[in-house]
Chains A and B, each alone.
Chain A
Amino acid sequence: MKFALLGDWKFRSALTGWGLGTLTVVFLVYQWMPILTLGLLSFAGPTGGTTFPMNGVSLHWYEELWKATVMNDFKPPLVRSSLLAAACAITTVVLSVMSAQAMRGKFRGNDWFFYLMLLGIMAPGILVGFGFAILMRLLDVELAWNTTTFLVQVSWTLPFGFLTMLAVFNRFDSRVEEAALTLGASRLTTFRRITLPLIMPGVIGAGLFGFSLSYDEYPRSMFTTGPDQTLPLAVMAQLDRQLTPEIYAIGTTTTVFSLIAVLLCTSALWAMRRSTAPRKA
């Protein structure tokens, strides 16, 4: 009844909506299916293979993971990756706020600086890692996860944080700073008391980028990490040796880990945006 009333252009518009909606939902299923399969298979029984049928349901592979031998113990790599990611997040936040603030000062050569940062995103990790490894070799520097890998990973996480902060400052209303400055606050005080709280959502976003990009990074670490591996390297090494549901267990664990981190950060972001957003009239 209503359709006839609405006329056929509305029907067509609704049809487009349904078509695109179906496509979207199909893609979402497509995107999530492997992840969910991975999660499901990680709970397979002790005799379970790497695909269906599962041969029972158990926590066997998680137990294996927990009491692993030296060869495939994922605990130290997990600790290393977490520490590394935290360090990268902090460094990214500090450096990206500094450099985005610098961009507001329109210093001479800021164009080149911008492209330099962009290069960090554009340049493939495999090249940066390989090049840096060669450089370290020529300079006779020992490779280690907490020195060389840290240096390389920040060059990857920093540009993302920088772009985030740049976008934040592009929307930032500097009149609030002017207000504080005319009230007699120094530039430093104004930055600390006015600017920083207002850009906090962006800062958290930059930190999130820093953490998760570093935590998941593989190609840059591959060439620059010494004997003590990070988590993605350990996973890849295990995959090369043998594909067991244990890999699924570690994969599920880190994925859940990442999801929790994202959830925490987005809710923090959301809460902050709510508290600083101007009320709608």
Chain B
Amino acid sequence: MSTIRVRSAASYWLAVPAAVWMLGVVVVPIALLAWVSLWGGRTFSPASPLTVDNYTKFFANKTYLQLALSTVGHTALLMVITGVLGYCIAYFLTMKVKSPAWRLILFLAFIVPFWTSTLIRGIAWVPFLGVNGVLNQALMFTGATRTPIEAFLYSVFGISMAQVSLYTMMAAGPVIYMLNAVAPQLREAAMTLKAPPLVVFWRIVFPLTLPGVVIGQVLVFLNVMADFATVATVGGNKHAMLSNLVLLFYEGSQHRAASVVAVLLMICMLIGVVAAMKVVDIRRLGADR
């Protein structure tokens, strides 16, 4: 028994406002995009005949296809980097820092930027990466290079650097949560069963934190795939990912083409998320074991 009766009408009605809100603002518009992406004809109206021309036009263009592929490749790279980095940091913070005060300080230093604007943090990389930027000045000062390297700003390298700083926290957060949930007795039990530390990690700790890794990877995947803002600020106009294409078409009033890209983006993400859900039950997060 609790303050809500199981399967009561009240529980149903409590969920209705949120459900209507989400349906109206998320589901309907995305369904609308799927519909719009099939509109043919000359005028932009619901009366348009349905056709797959928009898609065939998109797939006929090699540049767009390459863009789609490079987006997926770039995202995969980011997932690997943030995944490894995030796990190391999470492991250090939860397992290796013994002093609670230091743990809190390092933890806050790690997560606080997450609460500030992603946009501003992206922009912050600009003075860092430019031809006269901090990085180049440092490199020239140490003599590593004579002439400034132009490849930092407005390049995939610069974009990646910025995105690693933006999204490592997302890969690490769920892992920190899962690491905290691993009972110390399990590691101790393994040790008394003759498992040395590395084996304890691979056989006990890592499998138990795998759901956290997967959720972290999903978050990174979703965010990098959709992160047109960092690409726009750090990458300038020279580079684009799939999500920038949506903006590009939208600004060019090519709403149908933009919808096509949006639908493709959505399909990519659904595949990623569904694959991840096969591994983890997100709903059990927060339950005591």
**Direct contact, A vs B (beta carbon within 8 Å):** yes
Residues of A within 8 A of B (CB): 9, 12-13, 16-17, 20-21, 23-24, 27-28, 30-35, 37-38, 41, 49-52, 95-96, 98-99, 101-108, 110, 113-114, 116-128, 130-132, 134-135, 138, 151-152, 154-155, 158-159, 162-163, 166-168, 170-171, 174, 177-178, 181, 187-188, 190-191, 194-195, 208, 212, 215-216, 218-219, 222-223, 232, 235-236, 239, 243, 247-248, 251, 254-255, 258-259, 261-262, 266
* Seed contacts A101-B14, A130-B262, A258-B115; 16 additional CB < 8 Å A-B pairs: A21-B96, A21-B97, A24-B93, A34-B128, A50-B127, A102-B11, A105-B5, A107-B7, A125-B226, A126-B246, A127-B30, A151-B21, A170-B287, A187-B4, A216-B116, A258-B117
Sorted nearest first, the 5 A-B pairs with minimum C-beta distance are: A105-B11, A131-B29, A167-B286, A124-B226, A102-B14
Contact yes or no, B124 A120, CB < 8 A? no
B108-125, CB < 8 A from A? 108-110, 112-113, 115-121, 123-125
Contact: B109 with A134, CB < 8 Å?
no
Contact B2 A259 (CB under 8 A): no
The answer to whether the Cβ of B32 comes within 8 Å of any Cβ in the partner chain is yes
- With contact pairs A166-B286, A259-B116 given, residues A9 and B196 touching in the complex (Cβ less than 8 Å): yes
A37–B110 contact, CB under 8 A?
Answer: no
Interface centre among B196, B247, B259, B283 (most CB of A within 10 A): B283
For residue B134, which residues in chain A have a CB less than 8 angstroms away from its CB? Answer: 33, 37, 51-52
Counting chain B residues whose Cβ lies within 8 A of the other chain, the interface size class is: 35 or more
Known: A122-B222, A134-B255. A20 touches B96 (CB 8 A): yes
- Chain B residues with CB below 8 A from A262, complex form: 112, 115
Residues of B within 8 A of A104 (CB): 2, 4, 11
**Are B110 and A135 in contact, CB atoms less than 8 angstroms apart?**
no
Q: Which of B264-289 contact A (CB under 8 A)?
A: 265-266, 269-270, 273, 282-288
Whole-angstrom distance between the alpha carbons of A243 and B123 in the complex? 10
Nearest A residue (CB) for B110 = A28
Residues in A with CB closer than 8 Å to B226 are: 124-127, 219
